[in-house]
């Protein structure tokens, strides 16, 4: 066991005084007393080597009131270590620095713009959904000509010629249902031309209307219609509920996708397929227009009319039956013609072109 140096010095002090009564110890005469403070060594601490053996070889005694600084350092360090670490408080401004005012204002303005754009897009989308759409469904019916012939004005009223004044008037009347007036000339219509009476039911915009219309039969190209829903494209704007009459060309069947505003389908969004007519300027049957038509043909104008004609059956020679000989009999057996159903006539589509 190792004893502290202070206890060893105290044990050796009586022997040193007995040997030399007049000698001095640490610069003091014998008989002089000095207070000596004995400090108890901290358990577990070892005295440093430089204190145990000073340069002069003599132990040094600590005076009263002089506390060893080095001995207090460990205590101070321990006290400081024992204190809890206090974390400086961060203010909200330090943790989250304020953003510049310009940046926040720009973001607010951008957010407002985006909201306005979204509202505008939604309004446009609703508007587009409410707008009616018309798409072609079936084109106007046209007659395919099986036979062709030429009406020559040079053969007019000649013997054995079919070019007669009466035939010319009939063909010109049919031409007014297939051509429309286009300025000073006549233009081919996309479909049959007919007179239409109507009552406006709903305005679709851009002078397009849903109407209850009636029209007559135009050959085999257009069957008659009575109080039928139709789509009309007029030259002038009219009000809902108005009645009128117009000449229009058949534009075929169209599909209308819309929200109805008339009974009995008021408020319903649906698609209907109806006949469409475009208002046009007709060619009136008059001598003036007939003369104008003959002049245009003489100037090189190309005109043709497609008609349905009744011609004689070639199988039975327009008799309506065929003959078969019988043995032992003078009369032949009559067999009904199946080609013309015993009528002797056939319906055929003929295209008649006009030439000078």
pLDDT score of 155 = 93
DSSP β-ladder status, 185-188 and 333-336? unpaired
In a domain, 74, yes or no: no
254, 279, 304 - which closes a domain:
279
Let me know the angle formed at the C-alpha of 281 by 278 and 285, rounded to the nearest 5 degrees: 125
* pLDDT tens by residue, 285-337: 899 999 999 999 999 999 999 988 888 898 898 889 999 988 888 888 999 99
Task: Give rounded-to-5 percent helix, strand, coil for the chain.
Answer: 25, 30, 45
Average pLDDT, the chain: 77
Domain boundary among 232, 251, 279: 279
Identify whether residues 271 and 192 lie together within a single domain. yes
pLDDT computed for residue 123 by the predictor: 54
Q: If residue 56 lies in a helix (H) or strand (E), which one and from where to where?
A: none
Co-location of 185 and 275 in the same domain: yes
Compute, in degrees rounded to 10, the torsion defined by CA atoms 291, 294, 299, 304: 140
Which one of 37-41, 74-78, 342-346, 351-355 scores highest in mean pLDDT? Answer: 351-355
pLDDT, residue 68, reads: 47
User: What band does 143 get if pLDDT is binned at 50, 70 and 90?
Assistant: confident
Question: How many distinct structural domains can be found in the chain?
Answer: 3
Q: Is the pLDDT of residue 119 over 60?
A: yes
Residues 270 and 188 reside in one and the same domain: yes
Q: Is residue 225 part of a domain?
A: yes
Q: Which residues contact 143 (CB under 8 A, 6 or more apart)?
A: 219, 220, 221, 306, 308, 349
CA distances from residue 294 to 84, 154, 290 in whole angstroms, order as listed:
120, 11, 6
Establish if 99 belongs to a structural domain.
no
Are 248 and 331 contained in the same domain? no
Instruction: Read off the tokens for 226.
Output: 């009575």
* 355 lies in some domain: yes
Q: Is residue 62 part of a domain?
A: yes
Q: Is residue 125 part of a domain?
A: no
Indicate whether 271 and 184 sit together in one domain: yes
**Same domain, residue pair 185 and 263:** yes
208 in Cβ contact with 233 (< 8 Å): yes
Distance, first Cα to last Cα, the chain = 152
- What is the pLDDT at residue 347? 87
Phi, psi for residue 321 in degrees, rounded to 5: -155, 165
**Residue where the block lists tokens 């587009």:** 128
**How many angstroms separate the CA atoms of 228 and 274, rounded?**
9
Q: Are residues 161 and 299 in the same domain?
A: yes
**Token pair of 356 as six digits:** 């000078």
Domain that holds residue 211: 180-279
Enumerate residues 6+ apart whose C-beta is below 8 A from 182. Answer: 281
In the chain, the percentage of residues whose pLDDT exceeds 90 is: 44
Half-sphere exposure of 265 (CA within 13 A, CB side): 12
**Mean pLDDT lowest for which of 46-60, 74-88, 168-182, 270-284?**
46-60
Res 51: pLDDT:
44
Output the pTM of the full model.
0.58
The 10s digit of each residue's pLDDT in 188-246 is 998 999 999 999 999 999 999 999 999 999 878 899 999 999 999 999 999 999 999 99
Residue 246 lies in a domain: yes
Say whether both 305 and 348 belong to one domain: yes
Q: Are residues 168 and 198 in the same domain?
A: no
Output the CA–CA distances (angstroms, integers) from residue 353 to 282, 290, 304, in the order listed: 21, 16, 4
- For residues 172 and 254, membership in a common domain is answered with no
Q: Do 10 and 159 share a domain, yes or no?
A: no
The residue among 41, 66, 91 that closes a domain is: 66
Q: Is 332 inside a domain boundary?
A: yes
Q: How far apart are CA 244 and CA 277, in angstroms?
A: 14
Task: Provide the pLDDT for residue 330.
Answer: 84
Q: Domain check: are 58 and 148 in the same one?
A: no
């Amino acid at each position: 066991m190792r004893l502290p140096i202070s206890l060893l010095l105290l044990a050796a002090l009586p022997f040193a005084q007995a040997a030399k009564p007049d000698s001095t110890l640490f610069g003091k005469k014998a008989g002089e007393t000095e207070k000596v403070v004995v400090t108890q060594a901290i358990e577990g601490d070892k005295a440093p080597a430089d204190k145990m053996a000073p340069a002069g070889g003599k132990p040094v005694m600590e005076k009263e009131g002089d506390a060893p600084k080095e001995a207090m350092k460990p205590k101070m360090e321990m006290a400081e270590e024992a204190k809890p670490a206090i974390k400086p408080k961060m203010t909200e401004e330090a943790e989250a620095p304020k953003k510049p005012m310009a940046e926040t204002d720009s973001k607010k303005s951008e957010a407002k713009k985006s909201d306005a754009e979204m509202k505008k897009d939604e309004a446009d989308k609703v508007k587009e959904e409410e707008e009616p759409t018309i798409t072609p469904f079936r084109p106007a019916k046209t007659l395919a000509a099986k036979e062709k012939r030429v009406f020559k004005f040079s053969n007019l009223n000649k013997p054995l010629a079919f070019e007669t004044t009466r035939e010319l008037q009939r063909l010109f009347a049919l031409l007014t249902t297939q051509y429309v007036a286009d300025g000073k000339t006549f233009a081919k219509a996309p479909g049959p031309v007919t007179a239409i009476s109507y009552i406006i039911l709903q305005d679709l915009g851009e002078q397009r209307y849903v109407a209850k219309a009636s029209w007559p039969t135009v050959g085999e190209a257009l069957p008659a219609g009575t109080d039928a829903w139709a789509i009309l494209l007029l030259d002038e704007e009219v009000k809902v509920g108005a009645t009128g009459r117009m000449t229009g060309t058949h534009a075929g069947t169209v599909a209308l996708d819309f929200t109805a505003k008339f009974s009995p389908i008021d408020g319903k969004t649906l698609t209907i397929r109806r006949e469409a007519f475009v208002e046009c300027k007709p060619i009136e049957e008059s001598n003036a227009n007939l003369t104008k038509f003959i002049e245009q043909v003489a100037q090189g104008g190309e005109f043709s009319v497609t008609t349905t004609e009744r011609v004689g059956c070639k199988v039975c020679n327009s008799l309506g039956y065929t003959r078969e000989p019988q043995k032992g009999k003078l009369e032949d057996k009559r067999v009904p013609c199946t080609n013309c159903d015993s009528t002797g006539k056939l319906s055929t589509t003929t295209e008649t072109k006009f030439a000078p």
